[in-house]
């Protein structure tokens, strides 16, 4: 039975929830397929996550391997294939709680970096799981700066082998997933040396464990890097190589080859390879970043209409906490951000599909823009969504702090997305470098890519808004965002120029501008996100109340951004203080409007209770009952393990006399 | 041997580290006592935390109980007493990793709320550990709003007993520490009923477990609430009461008594009791909030001079990451905040000592101000420090994400401080209520408490700064902070008045202003923190470079606050855009200045390696060696537990045929 405090929220929805779900999925047919996958996964007890919050790292790992193996069977049973329409929903249905993700990266790296011969040899072995692959790039001493990797691969002409070594402790491979305990093979990135000359980083296939008994191969030291903030189910590993010899054929050689005599040959264009690395940043946004934020919003919003605390008016019933303005101000902007970034993700996917088609036609013109957008949005979205999940967690008070709320594990997992696949600050600086370059080009009248043409059209006007309702006009706020992005880019470009002209060396000057460059990159992405949301809303069908509620969310996303960063808009007087007060008024008004649809808006994300795995967020809102029943199953609910040895002697005064 | 990249940082300190440590401790003698306590604790293997990151919740709990019991012995051996000078250093030396903290709260509540007779009966029993106490206030359904607690205590004149019940699931006690598995007694807060009339919340001593065999008493259901984001060592518990009868004497009756015939008598003044609740918020700041931030800064700063990544200039050695402006901008403001809040804490301690003396003289005039300051600063400091620890964690990239860095557990623990002892938003609104009241009083020419007299002196001037160096003048920036605090308070007061005059009901009007009220409360605390830091620096001895470096940190703390919140200062034109550019320039300049002393500034916090418990933060900076050696001890470094059952059949193709 549904908690009436939650049920009543659903009766007053201003729009059709099912239609919004279909919009999010990209069509009703997609919704149907997704639900079928979820149903098949969740009805299979092998995939249960019920005990997850009680398990040790060892237990989590074992369960993830079990699920990965069982998944092979399941896919066969269900007729799902890796190229089928169901495939992309499996990972979400499992909440990512499965091993061998790096096995797929292993395969992809061979497909992209290997020669046809290498592909023909290794891909079938991997597909049939005659080996388990991993991908060993990061080292203890180097992550971001790939050129600095220290593992060596020396070519021995005599034996036609590469000799791999870890010359010092900082060169130890560290973090590769699936490598700590599972993998038999891995792709090792190492500095290639031929006849004493270094040719830079190259990829090598190395066997690390026996296919017979899983013992470590000669010269290999490997293991698990130990406890982490999350990802207990993954055996992130370390790897030390000592004179490990591999045949010449094991260097992945689509782009570079070492001939038997030691001649080094570079062939083909690596551009498509860079493109692949860039797309990874985009591909993780949906599953690893948006889904956790959507789950956190679902949990926090449902809890906030079930939780009653204190009174708004004396003599009345205690109020739902979502009726407090401060609670709305915490949660509703996160909800708006989840939608905003969902649409940005659609935009990026489309752009990358187009980029892929162009690149296949050998047109690489889009690459710099794609790189800048994927870097910037990876950073901005992971940052924003991580902060959003944390806000949701805190907004649930003490109960949010229990693992059973589901919120702590969402937070500790999404946090990693700010670090992996490019540390966020580094990525924003890459976007900034692109912006500065394009700004200079545009200033010189040269053509620039579409997403940055606005940099050329610097306007020195003022915001034309006359009352608070004007700030519900997408033209008004989009223009304001644009103005700020241009101002931050141009003023930082000017500072950079001034420093260089005053004699500061180029690299020092760059370093002295990086705090402001990061601001410019963020402002650029924020502007595009707002513009894209507004354009998306424009195109929506007006039926079933969808466009109207999405317009509200778009307004909220935009105004929240201004309200939280007023200085950027006030700085040069583009927005006046009086206008900023209008923004605040419109923003606070919107909170009360969207609050009415908060539950339908999270319902539209369509998470099942199993998928949420949260005592606070279930569809029926029976929060307290669930917390109590679940807590009773905790392994800590036995007699105190400290009783006989410590508590009893203490209470009975029979501890060895003090 | 110390890593030379760390060692060189210490040789260029601009001040005497030992003198700064003494300043932080409150004198060289205090430093000596603290170090003696740390030495005694750390040389005792019973208190080791070496395996902490590998342990399960059950193991953590058992170790915490063991340590609590052993601590009794240790204190006796060392001659430490609860009133001695060593006592306050024990908890820090143990990193809080010890049980029975609620036993102390149990004792304090009896001392404060109990009659002389009750104190005489229970305190000796508790002191001698003939019972283990807890404190059961929070329920599943109520935390913040105490009046809403639902547990009942009905007086039965016939038997002279109270009958305690949990009438519904939301009334279940939830969260009390030490109660899940250890406590034999607890203080239960319940709604008192006599002859069918409710008299509100009162405290009752209830035995929950047998003193003989620790089994649950009749009518008691209790257990552990299960896994949490941290505090695995504490058995936070639940408690269900079913017709539990306790004698009339068990209601703590210093302030209220139930006579045998059921007459309810209120006696004495509860003011001192409110004062006690208020001081708890201040007392937790040092150990639970500042220490974690100081530790996080120590870890992140030391790591950032040992970690080299990428090059600032081509052809040179890779740069220490602390040489990047963006890394300085992440870490150094946190360091400045740690010092700023340390001095705020001194200020609050002093104020509360004075308040205590006044209250003992039956002068309660200071109470509202003390309540407002303790509420506001509890919220602002916990919020700021939690965010600071998170920034430190993220600034260490992948290695910060490993539990072995120590940062994840610092973060997950400090996060709780935003929730317990008053949820932060609620607390800020209490401060805001005080501000609005005082602002109205001041506007009407009435006297107000010292910390808010500035509200009366609204000035409409402009910031007089003419160049970036002017912003290194404490008068300039303190005045700017003051101006913002006044503006936010007065404008919100005006909005509140306008709403009420336009016919909005008082409570609705308040709710519609709460987002802005929270801003005003934060601005007030920020102003006082800046002012207090500046005044503290003023009074420091100029010897040994201490005053100079503290002045830099004070400037950084102040300018960082402006730089991160420019809109508040630009809004009404008090600060111009040109002045804001000066702030930015001075702020960025300061980063480069303080960067030179970053390591000495964290060394001054004087944490031992054992106390930090971090592979990244050790005094010798041998990061990679430590990570590797420590990881090898992880319980995940055994043969894969999934091999025989899953991996082997998969690799050998002997899984049941697909």
For A602-616, how does the pLDDT look when each residue is reduced to its tens digit (9 = 90+)?
999 999 999 999 999
- Are B571 and A566 within 8 A, CB to CB? yes
Q: Where are the domains of chain A?
A: 103-267
| Predicted local confidence at residue B458, as pLDDT | 67
Residues of A in contact with B181 (CB under 8 A): 636, 639-640, 642
- Mutation target to probe the A interface, by most A beta carbons within 10 A, among B229, B556, B630, B655 is B229
Q: Which fold has domain A103-267?
A: Butyryl-CoA Dehydrogenase, subunit A; domain 2 (2.40.110)
Q: For A567, what's the count of Cα atoms within 13 Å in the CB-facing half-sphere? A: 22
| Predicted local confidence at residue B17, as pLDDT | 97
Q: Is B229 exposed, middle or buried (0-12, 13-18, 19+ CB in 10 A)?
A: buried
| Predicted local confidence at residue B543, as pLDDT | 81
Q: For A101, what's the count of Cα atoms within 13 Å in the CB-facing half-sphere? A: 18
Closest CA to A622 of A302, A323, A337: A302
Token digits of residue B653? 């193709």
- Are A325 and B511 within 8 A, CB to CB? yes
Residues of B in contact with A404 (CB under 8 A): 226-227
- Mutation target to probe the A interface, by most A beta carbons within 10 A, among B72, B325, B626 is B325
Share of chain A above pLDDT 70, in %: 99
* Residues of B with catalytic function: 421
Overall average pLDDT of the A324-328 stretch: 98
- Are B140 and A628 within 8 A, CB to CB? yes
- Mutation target to probe the B interface, by most B beta carbons within 10 A, among A168, A240, A325 is A325
In angstroms and rounded to an integer, the radius of gyration of the C-alpha atoms of chain A is: 28
Say yes or no: B521 contacts chain A, CB-CB below 8 A: no
Chain A nearest C-alpha distance from B362 (Å): 32
- Are B309 and A394 within 8 A, CB to CB? no
DSSP secondary structure, B66-96, as one string: HHHHHHHHHHHHHT--TTSTTHHHHHHHTTT
Residues of A in contact with B398 (CB under 8 A): 138, 143, 174-175, 419-420
| Predicted local confidence at residue B658, as pLDDT | 44
- Are B569 and A567 within 8 A, CB to CB? yes
pLDDT digits (tens, 9 = 90+) for B315-336: 999 999 999 999 999 999 999 9
Q: Which of B511, B516, B656 sits opposite A324 (nearest CB)?
A: B511
| Predicted local confidence at residue B656, as pLDDT | 62
pLDDT digits (tens, 9 = 90+) for A476-534: 999 999 999 999 999 999 999 999 999 999 999 999 999 999 999 999 999 999 999 99
DSSP secondary structure, B438-450, as one string: HHHHHHTT----G
Res. A655 pLDDT band, cuts 50 70 90: confident
Closest CA to B62 of B182, B165, B143, B216: B182
- CA B131 distance to own-chain centroid: 28
How would you write B491-538 as a 3-class SS string? HHHHHHHHHHHCCCCHHHHHHHHHHHHHHHHHHHHHHHHHHHHHHHHH
Residues of B in contact with A320 (CB under 8 A): none
Q: What is the dihedral of CA B356, B358, B359, B360, to 10 degrees?
A: 90
Q: Which of B224, B398, B404 sits opposite A175 (nearest CB)?
A: B398
* In chain A, residues 411-430 whose CB comes closer than 8 Å to chain B: 412, 415-416, 418-420, 423, 425, 429
Residues of B in contact with A403 (CB under 8 A): 226-229
Q: How far is CA A472 from CA A459, A469, A588, B71, in A?
A: 22, 5, 12, 63
- Are B401 and A423 within 8 A, CB to CB? no
Binding-site residues of A sit at: 138, 177
Is it the case that residue A291 has pLDDT exceeding 90?
yes
Res. A43 pLDDT band, cuts 50 70 90: very high
Closest CA to A529 of A484, A594, A571: A484
Q: How far is CA B326 from CA A243, A424, B642, in A?
A: 40, 11, 43
Residues of A in contact with B224 (CB under 8 A): 631, 634, 636-637
| Predicted local confidence at residue A656, as pLDDT | 63
Binding-site residues of B sit at: 138, 177
- Mutation target to probe the B interface, by most B beta carbons within 10 A, among A227, A491, A521, A658 is A227
Chain A nearest C-alpha distance from B349 (Å): 27
| Predicted local confidence at residue A558, as pLDDT | 98
Say yes or no: B79 contacts chain A, CB-CB below 8 A: no
Q: Which of A62, A397, A639 sits opposite B423 (nearest CB)?
A: A397
Assembly ipTM:
0.97
Token digits of residue B229? 């984001």
Angle between helices B546-563 and B325-360 (to 10 degrees): 100
Query: In whole angstroms, what is the distance from residue B483 CA to residue B461 CA?
Result: 9
Chain B nearest C-alpha distance from A258 (Å): 27
- Mutation target to probe the A interface, by most A beta carbons within 10 A, among B149, B150, B631, B632 is B631
* In chain A, residues 574-633 whose CB comes closer than 8 Å to chain B: 577, 580, 584, 588, 624-625, 627-628, 630-633
Say yes or no: A228 contacts chain B, CB-CB below 8 A: yes
Closest CA to A540 of A371, A391, A384, A346: A346
Is it the case that residue A233 has pLDDT exceeding 60?
yes
- Are A646 and B142 within 8 A, CB to CB? no
Closest CA to B602 of B294, B286, B287: B294
In the numeric block, the tokens 């199953």 are attached to: A633
Q: How far is CA B160 from CA A584, B197, B247, B597, in A?
A: 59, 17, 6, 68
Closest CA to B409 of B611, B210, B597: B611
Overall average pLDDT of the A259-285 stretch: 88
B211 to chain A: nearest residue by CA? Answer: A651
* In chain A, residues 449-478 whose CB comes closer than 8 Å to chain B: none
Query: In whole angstroms, what is the distance from residue A613 CA to residue A628 CA?
Result: 15
| Predicted local confidence at residue B142, as pLDDT | 97
The pTM of the full predicted model, rounded to 2 decimals, is: 0.98
| Predicted local confidence at residue A267, as pLDDT | 86
- Are B401 and A419 within 8 A, CB to CB? yes
| Predicted local confidence at residue A658, as pLDDT | 44
Residues of A in contact with B562 (CB under 8 A): none
Angle between helices A291-306 and A4-11 (to 10 degrees): 110
Query: In whole angstroms, what is the distance from residue A619 CA to residue A624 CA?
Result: 14
A133 to chain B: nearest residue by CA? Answer: B651
| Predicted local confidence at residue B91, as pLDDT | 95
Query: In whole angstroms, what is the distance from residue A561 CA to residue B364 CA?
Result: 44
* Residues of A with catalytic function: 421
Q: Kindly give the pairing relationship between strand B152-156 and strand B161-165.
A: antiparallel
Q: Which of B226, B648, B658 sits opposite A76 (nearest CB)?
A: B658
Binding-site residues of A for FAD sit at: 138, 177
CB B595 within 8 A of CB B556: no
Chain B nearest C-alpha distance from A18 (Å): 32
Residues of B in contact with A402 (CB under 8 A): 225-229
A423 to chain B: nearest residue by CA? Answer: B397
Q: Which of B61, B572, B651 sits opposite A642 (nearest CB)?
A: B61
Query: In whole angstroms, what is the distance from residue B83 CA to residue B411 CA?
Result: 31
* In chain B, residues 117-176 whose CB comes closer than 8 Å to chain A: 128-132, 138, 140-145, 148, 169-170, 172, 174-175
Query: In whole angstroms, what is the distance from residue B192 CA to residue B176 CA?
Result: 20
Residues of A in contact with B177 (CB under 8 A): none
Residues in chain B where the model's pLDDT stays below 50: 658
A312 to chain B: nearest residue by CA? Answer: B507
Binding-site residues of B for FAD sit at: 138, 177
Residues of B in contact with A146 (CB under 8 A): none
Under DSSP, the state recorded for A320 is B
Q: Is B43 exposed, middle or buried (0-12, 13-18, 19+ CB in 10 A)?
A: exposed
């Amino acid at each position: 039975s549904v908690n009436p405090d939650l049920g009543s929220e659903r009766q007053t929805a201003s729009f059709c929830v099912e239609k919004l779900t279909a919009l999010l999925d990209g069509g009703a047919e997609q919704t149907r397929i997704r639900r079928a996958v979820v149903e098949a996964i969740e009805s299979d007890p092998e995939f249960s996550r019920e005990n997850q919050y009680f398990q040790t790292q060892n237990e989590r790992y074992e369960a993830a391997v079990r699920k990965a193996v069982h998944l092979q069977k399941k896919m066969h049973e269900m007729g799902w294939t890796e190229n089928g329409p169901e495939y992309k929903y499996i990972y979400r249905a499992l909440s990512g709680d499965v091993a061998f993700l790096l096995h797929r990266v292993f395969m992809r790296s061979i497909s992209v970096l290997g020669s046809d011969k290498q592909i023909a040899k290794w891909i079938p072995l991997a597909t049939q799981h005659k080996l388990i692959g991993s991908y060993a790039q990061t080292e203890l001493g180097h992550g971001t700066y790939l050129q600095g990797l220290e593992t060596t691969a020396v070519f021995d002409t005599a034996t036609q082998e590469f000799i791999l070594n870890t010359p010092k402790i900082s060169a130890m491979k560290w973090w590769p997933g699936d490598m700590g305990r599972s993998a038999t093979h891995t792709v090792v990135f190492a500095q290639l040396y031929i006849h004493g000359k270094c040719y830079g980083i190259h990829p090598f296939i190395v066997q690390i464990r026996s296919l017979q008994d899983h013992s470590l191969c000669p010269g290999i030291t490997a293991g698990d890097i130990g406890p982490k903030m999350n990802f207990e189910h993954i055996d992130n590993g370390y790897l030390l190589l000592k004179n490990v010899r591999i045949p010449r054929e094991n260097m992945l050689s689509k782009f570079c080859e070492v001939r038997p005599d030691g001649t080094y040959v570079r062939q083909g264009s690596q551009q498509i390879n860079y493109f692949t690395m860039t797309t990874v940043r985009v591909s993780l946004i949906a599953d690893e970043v948006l889904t956790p934020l959507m789950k956190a919003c679902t949990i926090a919003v449902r809890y906030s209409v079930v939780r009653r605390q204190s009174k708004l008016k004396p003599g009345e019933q205690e109020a739902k906490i979502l009726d407090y303005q401060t609670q709305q101000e915490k949660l509703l902007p996160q909800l708006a951000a989840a939608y905003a970034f969902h649409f940005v993700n659609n935009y990026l996917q489309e752009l990358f599909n187009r980029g892929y088609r162009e690149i296949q036609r050998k047109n690489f013109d889009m690459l710099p823009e794609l790189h800048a957008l994927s870097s910037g949005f990876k950073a901005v979205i992971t940052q924003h969504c991580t902060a959003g999940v944390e806000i949701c967690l805190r907004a649930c008070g003490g109960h949010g702090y229990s693992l059973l709320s589901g919120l702590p594990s969402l937070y500790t997992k999404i946090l990693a997305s700010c670090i992996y696949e490019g540390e966020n600050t580094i990525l924003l600086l890459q976007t900034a470098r692109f912006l500065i370059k394009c700004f200079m080009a545009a200033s010189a009248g040269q053509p620039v890519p579409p997403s940055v043409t606005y940099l050329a059209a610097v306007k020195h006007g003022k915001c034309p808004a006359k009352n608070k309702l004007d700030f519900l006009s997408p033209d008004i706020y989009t223009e304001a965002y644009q103005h700020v992005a241009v101002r931050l880019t141009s003023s930082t470009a000017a500072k950079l120029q001034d420093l260089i002209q005053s004699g500061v060396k180029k690299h020092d000057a760059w370093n002295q501008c990086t705090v402001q460059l990061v601001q410019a990159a963020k402002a650029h992405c924020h502007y595009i996100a707002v513009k894209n949301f507004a354009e998306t809303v424009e195109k929506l069908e007006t039926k079933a109340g969808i466009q109207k509620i999405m317009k509200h969310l778009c307004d909220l996303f935009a105004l929240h951004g201004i309200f939280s960063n007023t200085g950027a808009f006030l700085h040069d007087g583009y927005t006046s203080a009086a206008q900023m007060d209008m923004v605040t008024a419109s923003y606070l008004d919107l909170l009360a409007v969207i609050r009415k649809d908060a539950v339908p808006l999270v319902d539209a994300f369509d998470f099942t209770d199993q998928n949420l795995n949260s005592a606070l967020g279930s569809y029926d809102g029976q929060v307290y009952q669930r917390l109590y029943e679940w807590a009773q199953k905790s392994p800590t609910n036995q007699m105190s393990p400290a009783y006989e040895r410590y508590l009893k002697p203490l209470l009975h005064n029979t501890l060895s006399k003090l």
